[in-house]
Homo-oligomer: A and B are copies of this chain.
Amino acid sequence: MNDKKSFETNRRSLMKGAAAGAMMAMPAAAFAESSDLAAIRKAVVAGHDATVKRLQDWIANPTIAAEKRNVEGGAEHMAMLLKEAGFQKVRKVPTDGIPGVFGTLDAGAKSWMGIYFMYDVKQFDPAEWESPPLEGRLIDKPGVGKVIMGRGAVNQKGPETAFLAALHAFRASGRKLPVNIALVAEGEEEIASPHFHQVIADPEVQAAMSKCVGVLIPSASQGSNGAVSLALGAKGAVELQLIASGERWGRGPKLDIHSSNMARVDSPAWHLVQALSTLVKEDGHTPAVEGWFENVKPLTARQKALIAEGARQSSEEAVKKTMGVQRWIEDEDYQTSLERLASQPTINIQGLVSGYTGPGGKTVLPGRAEAKIDLRLVPDMTKEEAVAKLKTHLEKHGFGDIEVNVSGGYGPTETPEDSALVRAEQAVLTRAGITYSMVPRMAGSWPGVVFTGPPLKLPAAQFGIGRGEGAHAPNEFFVIESSNPKVAGIDEASVFFADFLYQVASMK
């Protein structure tokens, strides 16, 4: 039943069953271990309300690394969630920053699966939300279905809760997990994982992870049309702040002074603007830092073919509309924009802040100016290389006094198309009748390089069905019950993870 229709039928059956409070059998051929999976499905549906409650409670307890908000409470909550899901060993892993959490669930199976969780969320401003961001309210969203709206709903607590619900369902249905699980969670993903390598370097963590077939981060990978993007890698990211200050420069004022002094006192704000203007070319986007493209690998023919396929399967207009964008860079076509997204290293301004930032003006000459920057890296660039080149560039152009404060980052991730992990993903998607495309490289970033790079060198990928929107934005949501038959709700996403674990266990 490798077509789309079977998935839609299954999904509808499951939801009807859930709605009626009774278990509807799904076609037995839909999954590998049919009788076990049927029992698990039943348990997922029975646990639906508890799962939703678990997600809401988690949303209500946010850790925000940039604000050092709820550091211990978030780690405790994460550890509790793992214990409740059946992990026998759970412990916090201290770092120089926010602690990681590590857990193992040894089911006595032959193989181990690695799971990566992030328990932190992005900052938020409640004033921008139509529903309180920490309440995780259930909302009927026309054309989408019943959703949970809240910070972290889709990035990443919703998909992670769906994964945990699968583990709960294995236990509730008395089914043995087909693989053992080693799970590692971090609380600094949203500040680019500055200490996650320390978590992985923990001997016990490293020993457990090195036994794994691969590492998966539960993800809501379906688009609005139900199609899944299967990523074979991700760009690396470095977050840093460039700070010009009179104090450090030895020129200009230490604090803000009256702006009339611009006639005789150097301006850290102008200094920063001039430094920034050397970082990209006149086109406004191509990095102009010396040697930036030295280690950039061009896309392969296979990667370009995958992107072309992806371009055909998605709607340029829908993407532009969602983003509020009228044109791509240089008025290029959609496929070229997708190739750029996969292949181009970038230097982005996330934010500018200097002096007076309120309404209107204020006659000050600021003592400090800051640009918040992120770098996106492609193979074979490394974080260390990028930061070193940036610093050398600034020094060479007379801006050596500008502070380069690297707050986090990691290199790019690559996972081979023929790895067991990717083949297992393809198998369960095909079995569920879900259209998918292979994306050679996500433009977004995650710290998978700690798994794919040395010493572990494991395949690692974001994976899962279900859907949400608004990561890093107001009104973030995750679909609980989908009104679109092609899109999974949280229960189907859980069952799908269960099927994936069976699939992994069966891989050669």
Contact = CB atoms under 8 A, between A and B. Distances in A.
A443 B263 contact: yes
A262 interface: yes
A380 B242 CA distance: 39
B443 A260 contact: yes
A327 B251 contact: yes
A351 B346 contact: no
Given A285-B262, A341-B263, A366-B349, A358 B123 contact: yes
Contact of A259 (B66, B348, B407): B348
B362 A66 contact: yes
Interface string A311-351: 00000000000011111110010000110110110111111
A443 B362 contact: no
Nearest to A361: B239
Given A263-B376, A274-B277, A354 B359 contact: no
Given A284-B266, A284-B271, A66 B358 contact: yes
B329 A265 contact: yes
A237 interface: yes
Interface in A276-313: 276-277, 280, 282, 284-285
A372 to B, nearest CB: 5
A494 interface: no
Interface string A247-265: 0001111111111111111
B260 A285 contact: no
SS of A interface (majority):
mixed
Contacts of A285: 262-263, 266-267, 270
Interface of A: 65-67, 122-123, 190-192, 235, 237, 239-241, 246, 250-267, 269-274, 276-277, 280, 282, 284-285, 323-329, 332, 337-338, 340-341, 343-344, 346-367, 369, 372-374, 376, 407-408, 442-445, 471-473
29 contacts: A190-B363, A191-B361, A251-B326, A253-B325, A256-B473, A260-B443, A261-B323, A261-B341, A262-B346, A262-B374, A263-B343, A264-B338, A266-B284, A266-B329, A269-B351, A270-B285, A270-B349, A274-B284, A324-B367, A350-B356, A351-B357, A351-B362, A351-B364, A352-B354, A353-B353, A353-B354, A356-B372, A357-B357, A361-B408
Given A246-B325, A260-B445, A261-B443, 19 more contacts: A67-B360, A123-B358, A253-B325, A255-B324, A260-B442, A263-B343, A263-B344, A264-B344, A269-B352, A276-B277, A349-B355, A349-B369, A350-B361, A351-B354, A351-B366, A353-B353, A353-B354, A361-B373, A361-B374
